[in-house]
Structure 1
C-alpha cells in the first residue's frame, strides 16, 4: 500500500488544535466494475478481514448446503458478533442441529465484547469459549458447507474444499486473482484484493443480475438476511447494526484494521474503504461520511452523529474535543 496515495479522511480536534489526522483510501463502484468515485489509491491491496464475510458465505448458499437454514443463521454466517446471549445461543443451536458442538469449531475462544455475557462468565467462574468468538457464526457456516462437500474437520486449512470454494467465489466476485492471503484472527484464511476489487464485489452483491441465477439468488438471500437481522450481524451499540437500522435497505460490514464495506442495492453500488493506520474510530466515521454523501443515511440521524462527530470527553465527562470528517472528504474531493 502506498502511503503517499492516502488522503485525509478524519480529523481529531482537541479544543482549537488539530491533534491527529487519519488517512485512507475509498472506492465507490458499480456492478460493471466502473469506479464512480475514489479517494486515495483504488489499486491499494488490502486484506478485507471480516468486511467480506458475505462473500465467504456465498458457497454455503449457492452449493445448496444452506437450503434449510433460516435467515437468522445466514445473518450469523456474515456476522462479527459481540458474543451476547442472542449470538451464542443461536450458534450453539445451529451446531447442535448438525450433530456437532463447540469443540468442532476452529475459531478459538474469545472474551465476549458484550458486557452482560462477560459479567455472567466472570460471576459464574466460566472461561469464554469458541461460541463467544465473533466469527463463530461464520465458522458454523463453514462446518455446514464442509459436511455438504464431504470435507474433513480441519475446514480452515488453505487446501480444504471449503476454503477452495471460498477463494473461488471471492476472486470471481472481486474480478481479480488474489495476490496472496493471511490468517485472520479466527484462524481462517483471508484473501487479499485491491480496494477496487472489494468495492466491485460489494456492487455485485448490490446488483447481482449479471452473476447467473444461482449466485444472484445466493447474494440476494445473504443481503436480505443481514438487513432483516442487523443485531445478529454485530450487536447492541455496534456501528454495523445501528447504521443498517438507520437506513432503508443498505447493508454495511466492518472488518479489523479499519476496513469497511457497504452494499447499496437501489443504486446498485458497492463501497470499500481502508484507513491506513487501522483505527476503527476513523473507519466508522469515514463510512458514515460516504453513506451520507451517497444519500443513504440522514446526516442528523443519531446513529450517524455518533460516528460523524463523536465528542472526546475528559475522565470527568467534560467535552474536550471531537472527531470529525476532513472538510474536503465531507464536502468534495470526488463527485458522487
Structure 2
C-alpha cells in the first residue's frame, strides 16, 4: 500500500497543517498518479476521484454553443424542443454541460403564448410562461425562449394551418436574438432580420408590441402613448399616423420594416387576396400566415413602412407630429 507523505519546510519556518473536517463517516479522496502541468489545479469528479485540470477564470456568465452561428435549441415536435449537444452554461457559479441533446421539460402549452427556457445548476432545463421569475427555488438562469403559435407556418405560398405549434423561427437564446431589449413575440426572417409576429396592439404598455388576441392599434383604436414619450400609462394618441406608430416602436428599440423587408416577412402568405373584414384583434387567419410565422402578414390591414415619402405624390409640409414639427410629403404604407 502506498504511503501519504507530507514533507517539512526546508527552511524550517512555518507549519503546514492538514486538518479533517467534522464529519460522521470516512471521506476518501483518490489522488492522481502523476503531477499536472504548470497552472493546473486538482479537480474532483464529485465521487472522490481527483485529477489535474485547467481552471478557466472566465466561466462567469459562460454561454457556449458548439455552433455559435445557430440558436441553441432544436424544435423536435409541435410542442417539444431540445437543447443542442455541446452547450455549456454557467449557472450560479456552476458550469452545466449538455454533452448530448437534452429534451426541455414543457408545461401544458397555451396557443399564442411566449415561453422562457430556464436552466438550473443541477442541469434541469425547463420552459415556463414567466419571463422574469425562475420556475422554483435554487440557482436558475434564463437562457432563451420561443413562441407557441395558434397555427403553423406556411409551407408554400398559401398560408399556414390551424394546428398550434412552436414557431421554430421564434427560438432565441442569449447570443442568438433580436437586439431590442425584449426578444419575445418575434421571429427571424430568412436569417436576415427579426420581426414582430403580431401587429401592434393598443395596450402595448401591458402586452408588448407583439401579442396574440389583443385589439389592434389603428386609426379607430389608437395605441397608448409610451411613457418614454410623455405617456401616463392610460393616455392614447388621437390617431395612428406614421409618426405616432414610429414613436411607439422606437420606445421598444424597434422600427418599421423597409419595403424589401416587408416583402420578405410576408413570403408564404396568400398573395393578392383579402381577409374580407377588419380582423379587429390579432387573431389567427391562417391563410395570411407567412413562412416565418408572421400573422395577418397581408390581406387584412395597411401597415406603415420605414420608407418615407412618395415620389409621385404632391409635396408639402404637414403638421402631423402632435405639435412637434411637420413632415414633408406623406409617408408610405407597405
Question: Same fold by TM-score, threshold 0.5 exceeded?
Answer: no
More RCO (CA 8 Å, sep 6+): 1
So what's the TM-score if we normalise by structure 1?
A: 0.24
| Greater share of residues in helix | 1
Pair member with larger Rg: 2
When the two structures are superposed, what TM-score results if normalisation uses the length of structure 2?
Answer: 0.24
